[in-house]
Amino acid sequence: AKRYSEIQTTAINIKGKSKNIDLYKMQMLTLNEGIKEPNLADTNLLKKFNATTPFDMYEKLFLAGEITDIANKISALSGYSEEEKQQNIEEIKN
């Protein structure tokens, strides 16, 4: 729960009094924390796919909809439903 809250906080963009959640960044951070095997941050694997970061790997391996689905599945497996996730986002915004 603590790491999930950290990911949400990291994905907040604050401009003046406006707060926005960068959902793409939140999804990518969720994938980064949730995908353990295979290790997509392995330097040899990154080199093989001509990627510089794990985020680049996710973009090369998965379609946009798949990134969303995988991030949602990781959240659900971590004990967060979509409703709880939205409540947490609204709570952070306020």
Which CATH number does the domain housing residue 77 bear? 3.30.2220
Domain count, the chain: 1
pLDDT (tens digit per residue) in 56-82: 999 999 999 999 999 999 988 888 766
For residues 38-67, average pLDDT: 94
Supply the range of the domain harboring residue 52. 2-93
The pTM score is 0.75
pLDDT of residue 89: 67
Cβ atoms of 21 and 8 closer than 8 Å: yes
